[in-house]
Structure 1
C-alpha cells in the first residue's frame, strides 16, 4: 500500500505560467553561470563541465530520492542541468571542434532517442506520468539532453546563422508564441507542445544570457556574468516564494 502511494506521488511541478517564467530565468542563469565558471574564472569548458556534472548528479540523486515535490530542490536540479548543458555544449562545439551545427545535430538525435526509449518503456512521455523512479530517470535524462541541445542551438542561431543575440531572442520568442497559439487554437498533442516549448526555452535562455554578458563588439551588453547570475537567481527565488507551485496533478 505504502509503495503504491509513493509511486503515485508527483515530484514535478504543475505547468502553469510561473513554471515557464522560472524555466526561462533558470535557462538564462545556466548560460551566465556556466560562462562565469568556464570563462570568467578561466577554468575552461572541461573543468566547468566536470564541476557542474557533479552538482547535477547530486541534485538528481536527491530529487529522485525525495518522497514528495520540493520546489527548491526541483529547480536546483533544473539549474544544474542547464549549467552543465552550457559547458558541455561549449566543450563539444568549441574545444572538440565539432561546431554548433554538428553538436546540435548529435544532441537532437540523442534527445529523440531518449524520448523514444522513454515512450517505448513507459507508454507515455507526459509529465503527468512522472510518478515512478524509472519515469523520473527518463525525465531528467531527457531534460539533460534538451538543455545541452538548446545551448548548441542558441549559439548556432546567434553565431553561425548570423542572427546575433538580439535577433536570436526575437526568433525563439516568436517560436514560443507559435507554440502558445497552437496550444489554444489547435488539437496538437499537449505533450508534444510541452516538450517543444521546454526545448525552445533553452536556446532562448542561451541567447538572452549571451546578450547580457557578451562584449559590445560581439553584440552583447557586456554586463558582469556574476551580477547577471545573481539577479537571475534572485528572480527565481522571488518567483518561487511569491507564487508557490503545486505538484503536477494526474488528469483522467
Structure 2
C-alpha cells in the first residue's frame, strides 16, 4: 500500500461545512494508517505497559489510585480531542498513550485487585469489544477509520481503542504465562502473527477493516512484550533497563515523531486528498 505525500493546502469552505447529520466532509478525526501510525502505536503500547508499572511502583497511590488519576487525565485529553474539528497529532497521540495506560490498568485491576483469572478477563474484554463493534456497525454501517467524522463515530472509535488495549493486555499476559515463552519470544510470536495478517490482507484479500482492527489489537501485546523485555530485571528475562529509563526513552521517541507529524502533516487524510485533487 502506498501513500502520497505532498504540501498541504488550506481547506475550502465546503470542506469545513458541517452537514445536517453532523458530518464534516473531507475531514477525519484520526490519522491515516501509514508506517508512522503503526510505529507510534507500538511505541504507545510499550509506554502503556512500562508507565503503568512505573506509576504503580513509584506513585504510592496503589493500583486503584493510579487508575483514577490516569482516567481523569485521559478524560481531559479526550475532551480536547472531541472539541477539535479535525485530526491533530499533538492531541490524538497523547490520548492514545493515556488510553494505553488506562486499558492496561483496567486489566491489571481485574487480575490483581479483584482476583479475576486471566482467562475470564480475556473472555469478558473480548465480548465487550465485540459488542462495541456490533453496535458501532449497526448504528453507522461501517467500522472504517477513514470516516471518523461525527461525534458518534468518534465515540465508538475510542471505546473500541480502549477495549483493544484492555483485551490485548489480558490476552498477552495469558499467552505469556501459559506458553512460558519469555518476553522476547512473546514479542517475536506476536510480530509473526501480525505479519501473517498483513500477508493475508495484501495477498489473500482479507478485508481491510478487519485487518486493521486485528493488527491494532495485536500491537498491544507486541508493545507490552517489548516493554517488559527492556524494563524487567535480567533474572526475569529482561535487559534490566527499568521502567523509568524505558518509559522516558519511548516517550522521547514518541514526542519527536508526534512533533514531526504535527509539522509535516504526513498522516492527515485531508492533506493527501487535497493534494490529489490539486494534481
Larger radius of gyration: 2
Superposition map of 1:165-184 within 5 A? 165-184=183-202
Name the structure 2 match of 1:131. Answer: 149
Equivalent position to 2:125, from 94, 107, 111 = 107
Superposition map of 1:73-152 within 5 A? 73-152=91-170
Structure 1 residue 240, shift from structure 2 partner: 2.4
Q: Distance in 2 between matches of 1:242 and 1:133?
A: 27
- TM-score scaled by length of structure 1: 0.94
Structure 1 residue 6, shift from structure 2 partner: 5.7
Unmatched tracts of structure 2, length 5 or more: 1-13, 274-279
Q: Report if aligned partners of 2:53, 2:243 keep a CA contact under 8 Å in 1.
A: yes
Q: Report if aligned partners of 2:36, 2:267 keep a CA contact under 8 Å in 1.
A: no
Q: Distance in 1 between matches of 2:163 and 2:86?
A: 25
Structure 1 residue 182, shift from structure 2 partner: 1.4
Q: Distance in 1 between matches of 2:157 and 2:99?
A: 12
Q: Distance in 1 between matches of 2:181 and 2:113?
A: 23
Does residue 3 of the first structure (1) align with residue 18 of the second (2)?
yes
Displaced runs of 4 or more, over 6 A: none
Q: Report if aligned partners of 1:89, 1:152 keep a CA contact under 8 Å in 2.
A: yes
Name the structure 2 match of 1:247. Answer: 268
Q: Distance in 2 between matches of 1:190 and 1:6?
A: 23
Q: Distance in 2 between matches of 1:248 and 1:198?
A: 19
Name the structure 1 match of 2:49. Answer: 31
Q: Distance in 1 between matches of 2:152 and 2:206?
A: 27
Name the structure 2 match of 1:58. Answer: 76
Instruction: Indicate the SS of the match to 1:7.
Output: coil
Q: Distance in 1 between matches of 2:247 and 2:69?
A: 17
* Deviation string, structure 1 residues 169-220 (Cα, Å, up to 9, x no partner): 0110101111121121011110000000100001111111111222223222
* Deviation string, structure 1 residues 109-144 (Cα, Å, up to 9, x no partner): 111110111000100000012110100000000100
Q: Report if aligned partners of 1:30, 1:80 keep a CA contact under 8 Å in 2.
A: yes
Instruction: Indicate the SS of the match to 1:3.
Output: coil
Count of aligned residue pairs for this structure pair: 251
Equivalent position to 1:187, from 190, 195, 205 = 205
- TM-score scaled by length of structure 2: 0.85
* Deviation string, structure 1 residues 58-95 (Cα, Å, up to 9, x no partner): 11111111112110100001001100111111111121
